[in-house]
């Protein structure tokens, strides 16, 4: 259920980003593919998706890190119940700080959250080559 609410909330923003990126793909690529005899499905998989690679990495980073730091949705909808099954790190931090009043532990949780999330972000950018600032349009 949390997944669905998050999806409902964030899809418009990502649609916006993807739409902007898709419009930036030069039409000449599609025309060249049509001359070579590629149908729409093949064009989608071989032109659109690779050109959108950078955008996909951007939105993947945003979604992963954003998901790790969501907090208010869990607070309103489930409060971490049933049991601990919907308690994420961010919500755990809040519950330790403001419900158990253990600020030291909450601060430690916050630091761990930041370090892990940053490490994941850097790992994604390094592993996908996003770091090299290359363009998908090189050689068009």
List residues near other proteins by CB under 8 A: 8, 11-13, 16-17, 19-21, 23-24, 26, 28, 54-55, 57-58, 61-62, 65, 68-69, 71-72, 90, 93-94, 110, 113-114, 116-118, 121-122, 125, 131, 133-138, 140
How far apart, in Å, are the Cα atoms of 15 and each of 10, 42, 105, 130? 9, 22, 38, 21
Cα 6 → chain centroid: 12
Tell the smallest beta-carbon distance from residue 22 to other proteins (Å): 8
Tell the smallest beta-carbon distance from residue 68 to other proteins (Å): 7
Toward other proteins, which CB reaches closer, 38 or 67? 67
Question: What tokens does 72 get?
Answer: 């208010």
Three-state SS at 11: helix
Question: What tokens does 101 get?
Answer: 């009043």
Tell the smallest beta-carbon distance from residue 82 to other proteins (Å): 23
Q: How many whole angstroms separate alpha carbon 11 and alpha carbon 66?
A: 13
Q: How many whole angstroms separate alpha carbon 31 and alpha carbon 95?
A: 56
Tell the smallest beta-carbon distance from residue 2 to other proteins (Å): 16
Toward other proteins, which CB reaches closer, 48 or 82? 48
């Amino acid at each position: 259920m949390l997944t669905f609410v998050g999806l409902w909330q964030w899809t418009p923003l990502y649609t916006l980003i993807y739409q902007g990126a898709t419009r930036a793909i030069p039409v000449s690529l599609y025309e060249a593919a049509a001359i070579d005899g590629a149908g729409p499905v093949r064009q989608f998989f071989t032109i659109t998706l690779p050109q959108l690679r950078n955008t996909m990495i951007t939105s993947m980073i945003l979604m992963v890190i954003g998901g790790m730091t969501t907090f208010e949705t869990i607070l309103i909808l489930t409060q971490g119940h049933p049991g601990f099954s919907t308690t994420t790190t961010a919500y755990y931090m809040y519950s330790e700080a403001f419900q158990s009043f253990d600020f030291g532990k909450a601060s430690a949780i916050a630091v761990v959250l930041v370090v892990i999330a940053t490490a994941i972000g850097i790992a994604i950018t390094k592993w996908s080559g996003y770091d090299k600032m290359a363009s998908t349009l090189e050689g068009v």
